[in-house]
Amino acid sequence: MNELIHSWKKEGKKIVFTNGVFDILHVGHVTYLKQAQSLGDVLVVGLNSDDSVKRLNKGPERPIHDEQARKQVLESLRFVDAVIIFQEDTPLHLILSIQPDVLVKGGDYSPDVTEFNDNRYMVGSHEIKEWGGKAVAIPLVNGYSTTAAIKKMKS
């Protein structure tokens, strides 16, 4: 994967990075990923490993789909150029490795929050600004979330 990212950088392509669980893909995810990709030339998605999802305390049944299945679904989207599974609790190591031009998270995060303990803090936002990149929050699509979908399926 490093060779691919290196070649994109050598070609002068603007790399956009985002990350998440992407457990049950829904219209909110698709809208978000399309908007993220529009901010550059290539979109790299950091995907939480199964173990890291469990550590996020999203619930005992999560992830619903294993990391390889989630990776395959994301890779099938025409606006996703690469998917990298990460094992750590946050994607900081991956962000530092890639050094993207743009870091993107959903609207429940803010690039202006500087306190790591604040739920709106974007991991990597401080670092990306140091190398001249930018952090962007994309508004969420109302009515769509994996948690809501799971609740609906259970009822």
What is the model's pLDDT at position 43? 98
For residue 36, what is the domain's CATH number? Answer: 3.40.50.620
Residue pLDDT, tens place only, 88-138: 999 999 999 999 999 999 999 999 999 989 999 999 999 999 999 999 999
CB atoms within 10 A of CB 11: 9
How many DSSP H helices and E strands does the chain contain?
7, 5
Measured distance CA(10)–CA(129) in Å, rounded: 21
- Is residue 121 helix, strand or coil? strand
Amino acid at 145: S
- Cα separation values, 78 from 46, 52, 75, 151, Å: 16, 26, 8, 29
Total domain count, the chain? 1
Measured distance CA(49)–CA(37) in Å, rounded: 22
Amino acid at 65: H
pTM of the model: 0.92
What is the model's pLDDT at position 148? 62
**Domain extent for 48:** 2-154
The encoded tokens of residue 32 equal 């978000």
Residue pLDDT, tens place only, 137-151: 999 877 766 666 666
